[in-house]
Amino acid sequence: MSYFFDKKRVPTDWRIVRADAASDYVRISIRAKDLDGKVFFHYSIPSIQEIGDGFLQNGSELDSDKTLLVGGEILISKLNPEKGTVMLTKKQDYPIICSTELVPIMTKDILRSKFAFYIYSSDAVREHLSSMAISATKSHKRVEPSEIYKMFLPLPDLKIQDKIVDFLDYELQNINGLINEKQKQLEILSEKHQSLITHAVTKGINPKANLKNSGIDWLEEIPNNWTTIRLKYLGDIFYGLSQPPKYIPEGTALIRATNVYRGAIKHDGLVFIDETELETEKKIKLNVGDIIVVRSGAYTGDSAIVTEEWENAIAGFDMIIRPNNNVIPKFLATILLSSYVLDNQLLPLRIRAAQPHLNSEEIGSVKVFLPSLDEQQKILKFLSIEIDKIGMLADATKTSIDLLKERRSALITAAVTGQLQIP
């Protein structure tokens, strides 16, 4: 077994022990059929990553075996260990279970559970386990449970463990507080960004403009010289592919819903196809200025404009709007991301069924407010300048958050490997 730390730098009064000498691997399984009719406190990987805790769930909603817990265990994910998913469980008023993708360990008397939690939360352990992981699929890697519960740990006496835990609790509380404040700043900037866009595409940028009744309940007034028009009159709306083609390592990019995010096309999850295998009449090559609208799933209604980078890529399974000469494509793309379209028109359509979905007729019926082409261009120029300002502030805030997270990680690793002098 390898080490996640430099043995030579461990204090001489610390021991080095294998994890299974200081803890037990919890392996009490409960079958899926035995979950039905009961309520459990469930620790899943998504819940740990998203809310930092488990949640109450009816056993009838679960269709796979689980591990039964009592509270006080440390849970370490064997799935995609590079994400560092670690949780210290607590006693609950309901039976506790966790995913079998989590490795639960219960510490013995020589190891404090919180100290063990900090060890497994350290970057050093995360990197160590990541190096041991084996790819199961393109998006999933797993590490053998034995790499987790048999790894070597630096172990001071209980008094020192308690001092380290108290030190980290205090320091991390301060760091986490700063991170939370900066994340709130990001939320405010995001709201300002959205508000700026919506105001610009519903009121314009001339504060002295004469206004008229919009004729729509949720929007009182629009500039006098703007027109209200349905989206179907501003371009052609059509669908991409109806059947998934064969994916290949290299070829023509296929743009799917997973590549569309808040106005931009992302490389994450990008797949490639051999376009010569597609039937000509079903092959939609994207042009610069086309707008992709997600038609189903969790991100229904999200959209992105096609830039030069994605020209001639193949449209996937979503809808494409090809704007006509009555609207600047970038202006229409901006309208589609505004709250008066997303929240007031598309959201009610997408939530009408259990599975969010939109069709071309529904997209075509969306009402938009349209200024002249000259005014569209002026609005876009204004938004570009103002959004860049917000973006610079957001980038600086994100950088600050990243630095705080790096500080937090370095502090944990240094503390649990004996590299800090703690009073």
Q: Are 242 and 284 within 8 A, CB to CB? A: no
**Six token digits for residue 217:** 């309940």
User: What pLDDT is recorded for position 357?
Assistant: 84
At residue 45's C-alpha, the angle toward residues 130 and 63, to 5°, is: 125
User: What pLDDT is recorded for position 312?
Assistant: 92
Average pLDDT over residues 155-181: 97
408/392 Cα distance (integer angstroms)? 24
At residue 219's C-alpha, the angle toward residues 218 and 222, to 5°, is: 165
β 39-43/96-98 pair status: parallel
**Between 391 and 282, the higher pLDDT residue:** 391
Same topology for domains 7-155 and 227-370, yes or no?
A: yes
Average pLDDT over residues 215-243: 89
- Angle, helices 123-132 vs 113-121, to 10°: value is 60
| 3-state secondary structure (DSSP) of residue 56 | strand
Distances in whole angstroms, Cα of residue 316 to Cα of each of 98, 118, 271, 278, 364:
37, 44, 10, 12, 19
| 3-state secondary structure (DSSP) of residue 17 | strand
User: What pLDDT is recorded for position 282?
Assistant: 64
Does residue 352 surpass a pLDDT of 70?
A: no
Distances in whole angstroms, Cα of residue 357 to Cα of each of 83, 114, 350:
32, 46, 5
> Which CATH code is given to the segment(s) 7-155?
3.90.220.20
Question: Which H or E run contains 319?
Answer: strand 319-323
Average pLDDT over residues 177-202: 96
CATH 1.10.287: does it fit domain 157-207+373-423?
Answer: yes
Q: Which fold has domain 227-370?
A: Adenine-n6-DNA-methyltransferase TaqI; Chain A, domain 2 (3.90.220)
User: What pLDDT is recorded for position 353?
Assistant: 61
Which of 296, 316, 293 shows the shortest CA–CA distance to 247?
Answer: 316
User: What pLDDT is recorded for position 409?
Assistant: 92
User: What pLDDT is recorded for position 220?
Assistant: 77
352/371 Cα distance (integer angstroms)? 31
Q: Based on the number of CB atoms within 10 Å of its own CB, is 61 exposed (0-12), middle (13-18) or buried (19 or more)? A: exposed
Q: What is the mean pLDDT of the chain?
A: 92
User: What pLDDT is recorded for position 286?
Assistant: 94
The 10s digit of each residue's pLDDT in 251-276 is: 999 999 999 998 999 998 899 999 88
At residue 414's C-alpha, the angle toward residues 114 and 103, to 5°, is: 40
Average pLDDT over residues 305-314: 94
Average pLDDT over residues 117-137: 90
| Percentage of residues in the chain having pLDDT higher than 70 | 97
12/17 Cα distance (integer angstroms)? 14
User: What pLDDT is recorded for position 299?
Assistant: 84
| Percentage of residues in the chain having pLDDT higher than 90 | 78
* pLDDT band for position 281 (cuts 50, 70, 90): low
89/52 Cα distance (integer angstroms)? 10
Average pLDDT over residues 318-337: 96
User: What pLDDT is recorded for position 196?
Assistant: 95
What residue segments make up the domains of the chain, in order of their start?
7-155, 157-207+373-423, 227-370
Average pLDDT over residues 161-177: 97
Q: In what order do the strands lie in the sheet with 66-69?
A: 29-30, 66-69, 96-98, 39-43, 55-58
User: What pLDDT is recorded for position 107?
Assistant: 97
Average pLDDT over residues 302-308: 95
List residues bridging with 292 in a β-sheet.
304, 320
User: What pLDDT is recorded for position 84?
Assistant: 93
